[in-house]
Structure formats: structure tokens, C-alpha cells
């Protein structure tokens, strides 16, 4: 049996911190190529290199049936009309699905089916769960005015494939239009 420290963890829904868990931090400069409006990206970066998000991860075990989880903290803000976002990824083990649970703030998940390219925008709010199916690229945007935090739970063997996104990118981006998050084709902004 695992120790009690492996069986439970305490997270702060406001800061996204999990006691004792390693944290990955991504700044605007780490997201080169993610935002469609490259002029707005360079202008925003020239004014500073803000922290966009952090993820605290818990990996209790690495066996076939095990689970990993993480709490993300994504800051509010925009690059031009595009909301601050995560890098986005597919799972290296493509079949792996994931559950996102909103903790604080308001956001959306952009989902893109790898085979068909079909895209969907799914609201991510406190006490809402979003199911991300396997074979689906996923990226999170903060569409509100305060930090967005969420819990993500996924198979231990899922793995994060960032390379495919770096190469092909998502077909769509999420912009503020008339005060609302709106999904538009990337090519309309480039």
C-alpha cells in the first residue's frame, strides 16, 4: 500500500499550488508560435515576458492502470484579441483521455480531433467537469478577469506530445469578439 503522503495531497484552488509537488512554469516567450497574431505577440513580449501559467503535478505511481494529476493556474490577459493560453498538446499515448475540473475563474478548452480536424470550444468553470477524449489536441484559455485554476486527471502513461502541435498548430484560435470568447480559424488572423 502507498504511504498516506502518496494517497492524498492538499491543493490551494486560488494559487494552484500542491504541497510538495513539482511545478512547471511557462512564460510568454515559451509560447512562440502559439498565438496567430505574431505582430501582437512581438509587441506584448517587447513590453515584458509575463508568466502565463504554471502546473503543479502529482505522479503517485507509473504502472499500467495508474493515474497522474495536475493543477493548472492560467493568468488572465490577452495578446491582441487572443486570450492567454497553454501550449496545448496531444497525449503521446493517443488513446489516453483526460478529465478537467474547473476550480476558479472562467475559461474554455479548445479541443481538436486529430483525425478529422474538427474543433470544439468547451466552457471550463468551477464545478464543471470536461471530458477530453483520446486522440484530441487540447489547449486551455483564460477568458475571464481573474486567474483560472483547474484540476486535470489523466492516465500515468498518457505522456505529453508538444512536438505535433509545434509543427502543425491548432486550426483555430480563441479571440474576444463583442466581449465573448469566439473560435475563429487561425488563418483569418495571420
By CB under 6 A, name the binding residues for ligand PA5.
Answer: 55, 70, 72, 86-89, 98, 138, 140, 152, 154, 160
Nearer to ligand PA5, 1 or 61 (CB): 61
Nearer to ligand PA5, 128 or 177 (CB): 128
Asked if 82 touches Mn ion (CB under 5 A), the answer is: no
Nearer to Mn ion, 153 or 183 (CB): 153
Query: Strands 67-74 and 129-132, how do they pair?
Result: unpaired
Asked if 98 touches Mn ion (CB under 5 A), the answer is: yes
Nearer to Mn ion, 37 or 98 (CB): 98
Which burial class, exposed, middle or buried, applies to 47 when counting CB atoms under 10 A from its CB (0-12, 13-18, 19+)?
A: exposed
Asked if 37 touches Mn ion (CB under 5 A), the answer is: no
35 binds, among Mn ion, ligand PA5, none (CB under 5 to 8 A by kind): none
Distance CA 27, CA 40 (A): 16
Q: Which residues are CB-contacts of 67 (< 8 A; sequence separation ≥ 6)? A: 60, 153, 154, 155, 156
Shortest-Cβ-distance residue relative to ligand PA5: 86
* Three-class SS state of 94: coil
94 binds, among ligand PA5, Mn ion, none (CB under 5 to 8 A by kind): none
Read off the DSSP letter of residue 85: B
In which order are the strands placed within the sheet that holds 180-185? 78-79, 82-83, 172-177, 180-185
In 10 A of CB 94, how many CB atoms? 15
Q: How far is the CB of 154 from ligand PA5 (least distance, A)?
A: 5
78 binds, among Mn ion, ligand PA5, none (CB under 5 to 8 A by kind): none
**Residues within the interface to Mn ion (CB under 5 A):** 98
Amino acid at each position: 500500500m502507498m504511504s498516506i503522503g502518496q494517497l492524498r495531497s492538499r491543493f490551494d484552488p486560488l494559487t494552484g499550488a500542491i504541497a510538495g509537488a513539482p511545478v512547471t512554469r511557462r512564460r510568454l516567450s515559451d509560447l512562440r508560435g502559439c498565438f496567430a497574431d505574431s505582430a501582437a505577440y512581438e509587441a506584448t513580449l517587447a513590453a515584458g515576458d509575463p508568466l502565463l501559467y504554471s502546473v503543479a503535478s502529482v505522479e503517485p505511481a507509473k504502472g499500467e492502470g495508474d493515474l497522474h494529476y495536475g493543477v493548472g493556474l492560467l493568468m488572465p490577459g490577452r495578446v491582441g484579441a487572443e486570450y492567454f493560453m497553454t501550449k496545448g498538446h496531444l497525449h503521446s499515448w493517443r488513446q489516453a483521455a483526460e478529465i478537467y475540473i474547473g476550480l476558479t475563474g472562467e475559461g474554455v478548452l479548445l479541443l481538436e480531433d486529430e483525425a478529422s480536424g474538427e474543433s470544439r470550444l468547451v466552457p471550463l468553470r468551477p464545478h464543471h467537469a470536461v471530458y477530453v477524449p483520446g486522440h484530441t489536441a487540447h489547449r486551455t484559455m483564460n477568458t475571464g478577469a481573474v486567474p483560472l485554476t483547474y484540476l486535470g486527471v489523466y492516465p500515468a502513461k498518457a505522456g505529453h506530445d508538444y512536438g505535433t502541435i509545434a509543427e502543425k498548430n491548432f486550426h483555430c484560435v480563441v479571440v474576444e469578439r463583442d466581449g465573448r470568447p469566439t473560435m475563429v480559424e487561425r488563418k483569418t488572423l495571420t
